Amino acid sequence: MMEMQDILREARVVVIDDFIANLRLLERVLRQMGIEQVDVFLDPQQGLEHLLTQTWDVLLLDLDMPVLDGFAILGELKKLDRMSPVIVVSALTDIASRHRGLGEGASDYIGKPFDLVELQLKVKNALKLSLANRQLAVQREALVRTVDSRTDELSRSYESVIRALTRTLEYRDTDTGQHVERVGASAAMLARRLGQSEDYVDHIRLAAMMHDVGKVGIPDPILLKKGRLDHAEHEVMKQHAEMGFRILREAGEAPLVVMAAEIAWAHHEHWDGSGYPRALCGDAIPLAARITSVCDVYDSLRCGRPYKHCWTEDSARDYLIEQRGKMFQAEIVDAFLAMQTEVEAMRTQWLSLHESIDHTTEVEIKPPAERA
């Protein structure tokens, strides 16, 4: 705890009074107290400019001044949240003036002619308050930094868990681990292009990665089949949407988890109502699922799988255009195609990290998209 002499020596006190005799008297009293940094202003406007641009601890302020009075100065300080302790030293001692001054943010009030001892005591108390406020501000900033650091750490841990969860699929579906990373990245890009908030973008980047988590429940003979699924097998494959929803809904009510569950359940719903598992249509399909669906299908078409070859960029683009207004919402397709070059650049970067998968043998023949 600082001693009073140290507080006085380090204090920055401002005095504004349009009567020079009062100004000199107040300055002399303050310096006699041991306050070394005293700034005095005969011109209220110059004093206000100093208050708004410099650091200070206590203000001694007259009220009855021409052009810019003390009430106006208090109003400006209050408006800009620059309210260190203010002691009004004024000949306006009527109740209305006192109430108005205190109401505008003054912390204390001394009438003229003032009592010297009273002035000194009130200045010391104001300086203690100012010091306490500064220390509190420092502690608050330190706390904010700590919370931000812990939040970042928690966010990184959360993301690591999500990546680990989705990576488990890589051992069952060859490229799925890379696929979900790309879908998450492109869904975030698409959400931003559609004007969603940065929080939404951050959420969908991770939530979209979990769109196929339900595939952990699909038997290998179906999931890894090299060829088109028959009707019965396709019905089993379709169950991954609801499986994913149930897995994720058990994880809680956090916004990210809720979004991930919605995507898992609805990313195979179609804009025209022909999708599964609930045959939703139009805006009844959650936006996050509509966004993820376009990104999921495009990336799946552009990559080789055990059951199909890789489509060319133009073929995948043509497919999205063909399904515009059918499988996909038209506006989302348009936004995606407007950023297709960026998606391809991202895809190339991802695939360079996974060279064991054949994504170079591209074909123009369009295999069924239902396995996406």
The catalytic residue positions are 215
For 279: left if phi > 0, alpha if psi spans -120 to 50, otherwise beta; the answer is: left
CA angle 36, 39, 43 (to 5 degrees): 165
Classify burial at 105, counting beta carbons within 10 Å of its beta carbon; exposed 0-12, middle 13-18, buried 19 or more. middle
- Closest by alpha carbon to 260, among 317, 207, 215? 207
Local structure of residue 48 (DSSP, 8 states): H
Q: Which amino acid would we find at residue 71? A: F
Query: Residue 54: CB partners within 8 Å, gap ≥ 6?
Result: 12, 39
Element (H, E) at 88: strand 86-90
Q: Up-side HSE of residue 294: CA atoms within 13 Å toward CB? A: 36
Q: What are phi and psi of 44, to 5 degrees?
A: -60, -35
Place of tokens 């299908």: 297
SS3 content of the chain, % helix, strand, coil (to 5): 60, 10, 30
- Please give the Cα distance from 100 to 141 (Å, whole number): 33
